[in-house]
């Protein structure tokens, strides 16, 4: 990314800027089950393109999680694309593969020029144009640079969404990728109208009571293995029913395992219709993106995920066996 030196992606940036200037109708989306970086990137990009007078459709397969309701333009997100709709340009954020896009993502013939903006170490890069920068702490920071390169004023709507993305994927500016450039960008976003407490409160301290009840049930499943260096946590459909929560409320649960002194890797499992979604977090010594890749997933060195079929115990054993050599 544009840290404080010339970007290594200058040719790609030139292509992206040309396509954006030429296009009029845009579709933008992020990965299925969006987190703060995904939501902030899409809404920041939406506000950026609207400043250019573009016709923009932000898409997800349902409403964004309730905890992001404080973000501007969230009500503009659509959950259905007609098979006859066509776009000049489609931009997929925080995700490189169409298979990880939301359910109902349009066919390839509808997309127009397909651009991927990502920052994951493992990314399929299926776009016609791909800009993937694993050194960036958040895709939202890529959106921030895009807005600057387009000559767009960083409005409060852009700033709030990008700051949400950055705050989310840096863990509140705690993770290793929190670079000097990221902090300088954050300062610019504050100058553009961000209230840091508004974003922090919305992200971290405005949880519905159902989420807290679900978290209490989840913490009771703590299972430490490998000399207490590997922590498993999980939720079940029964826990959703008991708490009144749902899978959208589980974002961040995996971090409670990593927060235990001595734990090197935390694994959080939640049910999906055909198996289990596995989220992995590492303290740094173990590269969990490599572990996830063994099962067809991916992500970052310290944060990755995948999907596995089987019973809860079978999935836990598969993850355990893939990590044994790391401890």
The per-residue pLDDT for 6 is 60
Q: What pLDDT score was predicted for residue 300?
A: 85
pLDDT for 143 equals: 98
pLDDT at 1 (0 to 100): 44
Give residue 62's pLDDT: 94
Res 5: pLDDT: 55
Q: Report the alpha-carbon distance of residue 38 to residue 77 in Å, rounded.
A: 13
Give CA angle at 167 (65, 270), nearest 5°. 45
DSSP 8-state secondary structure symbol assigned to residue 53: T
Question: How far is it, in rounded angstroms, from Cα 275 to Cα 28?
Answer: 28
Nearest to 118 by CA among 101, 143, 99: 143
Domains (range + CATH), the chain: 10-204 (3.90.1640.10), 209-326 (3.10.310.30)
pLDDT digits (tens, 9 = 90+) for 104-162: 999 999 999 999 999 987 777 899 999 999 999 999 999 999 999 999 999 999 999 99
Q: Is 25 helix (H, G, I), strand (E, B) or coil?
A: strand
Round to whole Å and give the CA distance between 297 and 309. Answer: 13
Q: Specify whether the CB–CB gap between 189 and 225 falls below 8 A.
A: no
Residue 4 is predicted with a pLDDT of: 53
Q: What residues in the chain have per-residue pLDDT under 50?
A: 1-2
Closest CA to 34 of 66, 2, 72: 66
Backbone angles phi, psi at 43, to 5 degrees: -70, -35
pLDDT at residue 274, as a whole number: 86
DSSP readout, 123-180? ----SSEEEE-TTSS-HHHHHHHHHHHTT----HHHHHHHHHHHHHHTTTTTSTT--H
pLDDT at 164: 98
Per-residue pLDDT of 126-136, as tens digits, reads 999 999 999 99
Integer CA distances (angstroms), 179 to 2, 38, 67, 148, 282, in order: 11, 20, 26, 19, 19
């Amino acid at each position: 990314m544009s840290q404080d030196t010339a970007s290594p992606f200058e040719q790609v940036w030139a292509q992206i800027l040309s396509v954006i200037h030429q296009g009029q109708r845009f579709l933008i989306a992020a990965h299925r089950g969006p987190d703060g970086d995904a939501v902030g990137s899409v809404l920041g990009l939406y506000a950026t393109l609207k400043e250019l007078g573009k016709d923009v459709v932000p898409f997800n397969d349902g409403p964004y999680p309730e905890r992001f309701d404080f973000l501007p333009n969230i009500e503009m997100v659509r959950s259905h694309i007609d098979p006859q709709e066509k776009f000049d340009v489609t931009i997929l954020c925080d995700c490189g593969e169409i298979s990880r896009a939301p359910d109902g993502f349009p066919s390839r013939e509808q997309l127009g020029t397909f651009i991927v903006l990502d920052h994951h170490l493992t990314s399929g890069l299926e776009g016609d144009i791909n800009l993937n920068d694993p050194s960036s702490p958040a895709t939202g920071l890529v959106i921030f640079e895009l807005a600057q390169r387009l000559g767009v004023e960083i409005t409060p709507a852009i700033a709030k969404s990008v700051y949400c993305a950055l705050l989310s994927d840096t863990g509140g500016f705690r993770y290793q990728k929190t670079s000097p450039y990221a902090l300088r960008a954050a300062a610019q976003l504050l100058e553009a109208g961000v209230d840091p407490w508004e974003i922090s409160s919305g992200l971290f301290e405005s949880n519905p009571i159902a989420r807290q009840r679900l978290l209490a049930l989840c913490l009771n499943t703590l299972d430490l293995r490998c000399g207490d260096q590997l922590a498993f946590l999980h939720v079940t459909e029964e826990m959703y029913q008991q708490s009144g929560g749902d899978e959208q409320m589980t974002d961040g649960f995996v971090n409670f395992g990593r927060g235990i002194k001595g734990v090197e890797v935390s694994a959080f499992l939640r049910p999906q219709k055909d198996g289990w979604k596995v989220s992995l977090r590492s303290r740094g010594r173990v590269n969990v993106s490599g572990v996830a890749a063994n099962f067809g997933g991916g992500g970052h060195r310290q944060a990755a995920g995948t999907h596995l079929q089987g019973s809860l115990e079978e999935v836990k054993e598969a993850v355990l066996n893939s990590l044994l050599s790391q401890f």
